[in-house]
Amino acid sequence: MEQVKKSAAWVAARSTHVTVDSSALEKLVDKLEGSLPQVNWDFEGIHYFDNGPLTVQYLLVLDALNFCFWPDEELDYSHLASGLKSALENDKSAFDADRLQSYTGQELRAILKWPRPLPLEDERVRLLHEVGLELERSFDGKAVNLVERSGKSAVTLVDLIARHFPGFRDHSVYKGHQVFLYKRAQIFVADLWGAFKGEGYGAFGDISSLTIFADYIVPAILRQYGVLNYDLSLAKAIDSNSEISAGSEPEVEIRACSIYAVEKMKDLIKAKLGQRVLSIELDLWLWALGVQRQSLQHHRTLSVYY
């Protein structure tokens, strides 16, 4: 996680398309007025939870597929989470490692009850196969064994996921420098922590090490608050729904500057309000604000990472 924080700060210091407005960040913290954001992890009631290993299996599958909804205007995260939940409620073996290796795009659509091809459907199927194969090969088919191998360390679990599952290796190269973002690897840990309320399979002694999960929504809400400012060409591209290439300088800057800004926000809350808050909590709060605003304009990038 230090790699994530350091590389995000490195990008923010050299960014030419995106800037972080420190005064806007202070105003946002002042708006909290001592009341830190509280958002229930499953605030929409869309996730599967049975307080056991099957929940862990569900969350790994969920976060393997948790990316790129925007090309279908009607599809969103809730369809994925609730669709997978229903599939597991109907068939407890739906996400067994051998089953994951055999799904087709059409079968995945049927699981989600989606009437047409999913965005990046082939990639989603490929990642399902990858997760099933590696679970079977290295963890006796069970995601819970992956979690237990981490020794209750969030950092270790993110590292294990990135080492064993290539589809979670969320890296970019920016001006010749490697940037680490790890959105989906981190959010799997965060989902465990949120679902199990920091206990059992969700107990991590270093949960404060995680950053936010750089996606579409958090940068967009930070932009609305004036924390992120975009240059004219980038703002025009986003506002006109033009696609921004994965790995391009503007795309990396949007994500890295979001991480950097919220890390600074966390420091400001501690300094001004005398309270500690997790990046996870700030991410949940900002994401919840964002999804509730239908007019929110986010950047559009075809990517398997978010």
List, for residues 155-168, the tens digit of each pLDDT value. Answer: 999 999 999 999 99
- Residue whose entry in the numeric block shows the structure tokens 């709060």: 285
Q: Which of 274, 228, 290 is nearest to 21 (CA)?
A: 228
Region 260-282 average pLDDT: 93
Max avg pLDDT among 25-34, 39-48, 76-85: 76-85
Cα 306 to its chain centre, rounded Å, is: 6
CB 219 within 8 A of CB 299: yes
Long-range contact pairs involving 68-77 (C-beta distance under 8 Å, separation at least 24): 68/119, 68/120, 68/302, 68/303, 68/304, 68/306, 69/119, 70/119, 70/216, 70/298, 70/300, 71/119, 71/120, 71/302, 72/116, 72/118, 72/119, 75/114, 75/118, 75/119, 76/291, 77/291
**Is 99 a residue whose pLDDT tops 70?**
yes
Each residue of 74-92: pLDDT tens digit? 999 999 999 999 999 999 9
Whole-number pLDDT of residue 280: 93
Region 104-123 average pLDDT: 97
Whole-number pLDDT of residue 39: 74
**Is 71 a residue whose pLDDT tops 70?**
yes
**Is 294 a residue whose pLDDT tops 80?**
no
Whole-number pLDDT of residue 91: 97
Whole-number pLDDT of residue 247: 97
Whole-number pLDDT of residue 34: 66
Each residue of 123-160: pLDDT tens digit? 999 999 999 999 999 999 999 999 999 999 999 999 99
In whole numbers, what is the pLDDT of the chain averaged over residues?
95
Record the pTM.
0.95
Whole-number pLDDT of residue 288: 87
The whole-angstrom separation of Cα 301 and Cα 306 is 9
List, by residue number, the catalytic residues: 215
Whole-number pLDDT of residue 41: 85
Residue 306 amino acid letter: Y
